[in-house]
Amino acid sequence: MTPRADCILDARARLGEAALWSQTEQRLWWTDISAGRLNRFDPASGTNESWDFPCPLGCFALRSRGGLVLALANGWHSFDPATGKTAFWSDPEPDRPGNRFNDGTTDPAGRFWAGTMPIEGARECAEGALYRLDTDRRTTRVMDGFFVQNGLAFSPDGRVMYVSDSHPDIRTVWAYDYDIDTGTPTGKRVFFDTRQVRGRPDGGTVDADGCYWMAGVSGWQLVRITPDGRVDCTIDMPVEKPTKIAFGGRDLRTLFVTSISENITPGTAERQPQAGGIFALDVGIPGLPSSSFWG
Annotated binding residues for a divalent metal cation, as ranges? Answer: 17, 150, 202
Catalytic residue among 32, 107, 202, 207: 202
d(CA 161, CA 28): 23
Give 57's strand partners.
Answer: 72
Q: Which residues are annotated as a binding site for substrate?
A: 100, 102, 120
Tally: H helices and E strands in the chain: 0, 24
Give 196: exposed, middle or buried? Use CB within 10 Å, 0-12, 13-18, 19+. exposed
Amino acid identity at 7: C
202 noted as active-site residue: yes
Q: Which residues are annotated as a binding site?
A: 17, 100, 102, 120, 150, 202
> In the 3-class helix/strand/coil scheme, how is 87-142 assigned residue by residue?
EEEECCCCCCCCEEEEEEEECCCCCEEEEEEECCCCCCCCCEEEEEECCCCCEEEE
> What are the catalytic residues?
202
